[in-house]
Amino acid sequence: MATEQNPPNQKTTFRTREQEAAIGLLRTTDAIRRHFSAIVAPFGITLQQYNVLRILRGAGKEGLPTLAIGERMVEKTPGVTRLIDRLVKKGLVTRRPCEEDRRRVYCHITPSGLKVLGSLDEPVAKADAMSVAPLTPSELDKLIVLLDQIRAHNS
């Protein structure tokens, strides 16, 4: 029982239901990522940079060390330092060395970074709602539980 039609020139179906589900998750992730990337692009940032800004806004005045930012990111990336470098150059983030441990660097969102996020809050909230609009509240609850189970198994 395929839930998605194969392209017209593709003759075979998925080998297994698991393959169909995994590919469906990847394609859905890509579609949502492209939509959100288009929302943040006019502000001169990438989706990963947006994620860093949101994490830092949530951290408050204390800020966060670079490693903690990387651990909280939606999309794990080894290049967190480079992401932060770009945000510093744009004036959206600042860095401050830890006084107790000079190897640790704390990052903070700037007022300009807060302004960018403030401008994006409403469009992103609308995109969040639109992403799952075909689902009923009950289906959305089930989806959240199922996605949590898949992530926990793959972590």
CA distance 116 to 34: 19
Torsion over CA of 8, 14, 17 and 21, rounded to 10 degrees? Answer: -60
Q: Which CATH number describes the domain made up of 17-154? A: 1.10.10.10
Torsion over CA of 63, 64, 69 and 73, rounded to 10 degrees? Answer: -50
* Main-chain phi, psi angles of 97, to 5 degrees: -65, 145
Give the domain ranges of the chain. 17-154
Higher pLDDT, 96 or 57: 57
Report residue 135 as tokens. 């689902």
Q: What is the pLDDT of residues 114-140, one digit of tens each?
A: 999 999 999 999 999 999 999 999 999
Q: What is the pLDDT of residues 84-94, one digit of tens each?
A: 999 999 999 99
Predicted TM-score of the model (pTM): 0.85
